[in-house]
């Protein structure tokens, strides 16, 4: 399975992030899965790719040309796809993925997983969409989705492919 993971290109300031991202990468690579991600060597992105590779998995990075030019590419990955811009990058990451995980990240992560959530809700994408709610990181998003249901601006059917996982064990259960 190709697992697309959206996450930050910085390490963040919570030590639990590094431990959790390395555990996720070790699980992905050690269980015969492949990683699709943004292609960066920096921050959490680099840690994840490094962990997948060290565990025997393949890593497919998708970078727009301007990030390649800036020197952010992780040269050790299995395959690099270079795109013209961020829109093409997002489309390629979706095309390559069989399942989608949002690890804690910044506005880019939020924008990318929001598109996946929308595609899943519209049934334009038949794949699990998982928000890794590590230490409550995505609790606000869960509350927002609950509010959408309360106000009848969404339905349980539309949100049925969107999951929140507080641990790697919960991610494993969703993807099994």
Return the CATH number at 46: 3.40.50.450
Query: In terms of residue numbers, what domain contains 13?
Result: 2-6+8-111+118-175
Whether 136 and 33 have beta carbons less than 8 Å apart is answered as no
Mean of pLDDT values over 104-126: 96
The count of domains in the chain is 1
Gap between the Cα atoms of 23 and 166, Å rounded: 13
**With pLDDT > 90 as the criterion, what percentage of the chain qualifies?**
97
Residue 28 · residue 59 · CB < 8 Å? no
Q: What pLDDT band is residue 28 in, cutting at 50, 70 and 90?
A: very high
pTM of the model: 0.96
Place of tokens 């996720």: 24
Question: What is the band of 91 on the pLDDT scale with cuts at 50, 70, 90?
Answer: very high
Judge whether 92 and 124 are in contact, CB under 8 Å: no
User: Any idea what the Cα angle at residue 52 is, between residues 72 and 165, rounded to 5°?
Assistant: 100
Query: CA–CA separation, 119 vs 115, rounded Å?
Result: 6
pLDDT number for residue 49: 98
pLDDT at 5: 98
> pLDDT class for 106, splitting at 50, 70, 90?
very high
């Amino acid at each position: 399975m190709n697992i697309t993971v959206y996450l930050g290109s910085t390490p963040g300031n919570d030590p639990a992030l590094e431990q959790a991202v390395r555990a996720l990468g070790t699980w992905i690579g050690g269980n015969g899965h492949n990683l699709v991600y943004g292609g960066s060597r920096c921050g959490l992105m680099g840690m994840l790719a490094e962990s997948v590779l060290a565990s025997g998995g393949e890593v497919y990075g998708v970078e727009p040309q301007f990030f390649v030019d800036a020197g952010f590419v992780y040269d050790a990955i299995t395959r690099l796809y270079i795109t013209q811009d961020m829109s093409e990058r997002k489309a390629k990451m979706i095309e390559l993925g069989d399942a989608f995980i949002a690890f804690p990240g910044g506005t880019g992560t939020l924008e990318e997983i929001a598109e996946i959530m929308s595609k899943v809700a519209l049934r334009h994408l038949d794949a699990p969409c998982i928000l890794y709610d590590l230490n409550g990181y995505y609790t606000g998003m869960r509350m927002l989705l609950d509010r959408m249901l309360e106000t009848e601006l969404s339905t349980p059917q539309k949100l049925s492919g969107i999951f929140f996982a507080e641990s790697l064990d919960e991610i494993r259960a969703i993807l099994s």
